[in-house]
Amino acid sequence: MNPAVGDRSSIYIGRFAPSPSGPLHFGSLVAAVASFLDAKSCAGQWLVRIEDLDPPRAVAGSDHVILSQLAAHGLRPDQPVVYQSQRLPQYAAAVKKLKQQGLVYHCRCARRDYQTHYPGTCRTQNLKPEPGGTALRFRVGSSPHTLVDRVHGALTWHYGESMSDFVVQRKDGLHAYQLAVVIDDIDQRISHVVRGADLLHAAPLQEALFTALEATPPKQLHIPVVLGNDGRKLSKQARAKPLDTENPVNNLRRALAFLNQRQPPQHTLENFLKYACDHWQPERIPALMGRSETTN
């Protein structure tokens, strides 16, 4: 089997999971289009999940803006939209399960001390929980973790070098992104994840959680991140231009060009998407981490 194509014989459920921190920009459209076409080309379902776990970062009403921007581009989810803020009991249940298995420990360290790599300071301290003072960290296994990405091929992470114990529940009690994503993917029976390469580092951590929760991790495909003229990732925080919905076919053309896909000759939205789906070739996606919109 060509790893880039995926297994078309099994049930495919994919998803696009934006955070409601502002309207979609071109970079998020590329991720939405890639996940949509990959699912649809396998006769699969495409779901949308709003990652509104972090209330201070959410911008009121931007979920509706995002959904209407997607709809304007012909990207409509096959099931009702799921909101992470509605799923706190499920996350709490997962944390309880991890606790019972002894797979998490209390950590007192400040987040700013370990932005990239946590050296396991509290791993063997057996600290007692202090409300507001301790976070819960997942204990990552010490053997190397290899994962096959459909674009990047086999990648190996080493404990203590490229992966370390990570927070599943923050000091303020909020469930962490890594935990919520995995629980959502399990509950929504997500079989394939297609997202930006800026999340590639999270893939082995999430796989470790899937395994701990006795679930099969989804197949992975990480697309290049869209960079702006300044060479940085387009993001809502960096005030990327919101996607305009005046000419959706034109936006989709740019997205397909970025993903190195064949350009449909059609000009109407529905026919355009059908052609794009029929000619979707994930093996043509470049294996670069970041890529400017204008380079082909």
- Diameter of the chain by CA atoms? 63
Structure token digits, residue 259? 């993903």
Minimum distance, C-beta of residue 205 to Zn ion, in the bound complex (Å): 16
* Binding track over 186-215 against Zn ion, x by CB under 5 A: ------------------------------
Minimum distance, C-beta of residue 56 to Zn ion, in the bound complex (Å): 23
Give the range of 11-19, 36-44, 105-113, 263-271 binding Zn ion by CB under 5 A: 105-113
Give the range of 94-102, 120-128, 148-156, 181-189 binding Zn ion by CB under 5 A: 120-128
Out of 31, 107, 194, 209, the only residue in the binding site for Zn ion (CB under 5 A) is 107
Concatenate the DSSP letters of all residues of 187-243 into one string: HTT--EEEEEGGGTTHHHHHHHHHHHTT-PPPEEEEEPEEE-TTSSB--TTTTPPBP
Which residue(s) pair with 25 in the sheet?
Answer: 242
Give the range of 43-51, 109-117, 168-176, 276-284 binding Zn ion by CB under 5 A: 109-117
Amino acid code (one letter) for 106? H
Structure token digits, residue 29? 């459209």
Does 122 contact Zn ion by CB under 5 A? yes
Minimum distance, C-beta of residue 180 to Zn ion, in the bound complex (Å): 21
Structure token digits, residue 30? 């590329």
Question: Hey, what's the torsion of the CAs at 284, 286, 287, 292, to 10 degrees?
Answer: -160
Minimum distance, C-beta of residue 122 to Zn ion, in the bound complex (Å): 3
Cα–Cα distance between 21 and 219 in angstroms, integer? 27
H or E element at residue 38? helix 26-41
**Site for Zn ion (CB under 5 A): how many residues?**
4
Out of 109, 199, 202, 215, the only residue in the binding site for Zn ion (CB under 5 A) is 109
Q: Are strands 153-157 and 145-149 parallel, antiparallel or unpaired?
A: antiparallel
Minimum distance, C-beta of residue 176 to Zn ion, in the bound complex (Å): 14
Between 107 and 259, name the residue whose CB sits nearer to Zn ion: 107
Binding residues for Zn ion, rule: CB under 5 A, are: 107, 109, 121-122
